[in-house]
Amino acid sequence: MTACINKSALLGFLGEDPKSADMTGGGSIVRLRVATTERWRDAGGQRREATEWHSVAIFNEALGKTAMSYLRKGSAVYVEGPLRYRKYTGRDGVERMQAEIVIPKFGGELKLMDGRQDDVAQRPDSGRDRAAGDAPDDRAPS
């Protein structure tokens, strides 16, 4: 028998603060935008990088509350869950499809990777530009 697995894992930085919305059937959903950046040197020795943006939907109430309380733009986060595709109609009336990692009501994972999470939630500038690849002012760029 062949087993199938639909599991995606990301370790990256938030590009914006988490957003929460109430669902029509009750409960809420928290959405995150996570950036992952790959860095390498090309054949000529030049540094190159490519940033990919990923959508995450959290349906787990406890993890959603944690995300809303402790995560801010620039926070380091690890997410794990199945990859799902959903159709939606944009404001311009065009039907689109979006891939997103889903953290369901039961299962999935959300780990806060920043050092002290209680301090991170209180600091408005907690690594805000790390998602774009910028280094904080007190460190030299890598």
pLDDT tens-digit map of 2-25? 889 999 999 999 999 999 999 888
Residue 131: predicted pLDDT: 52
Q: 1, 15, 20, 11: which is closest to 131 by C-alpha?
A: 15
CA-CA distances (angstroms) from residue 81 to 4, 20, 35, 107?
A: 14, 19, 16, 8
pLDDT at 76 over 70: yes
pLDDT at 62 over 80: yes
CA-CA distances (angstroms) from residue 138 to 5, 110, 141?
A: 42, 28, 10
Query: What CATH number belongs to 8-122?
Result: 2.40.50.140
Q: Are 58 and 77 contacting, i.e. CB atoms less than 8 angstroms apart?
A: no
Q: pTM of the predicted model, to two decimals?
A: 0.75
Selected residue with higher pLDDT from 136 and 19: 19
Q: Which residues are registered as beta bridge partners of 110? A: 79
Bridge-based pairing of strands 28-41 and 95-103 is: unpaired
Domain ranges across the chain: 8-122
Across the range 89-93, mean pLDDT stands at 92
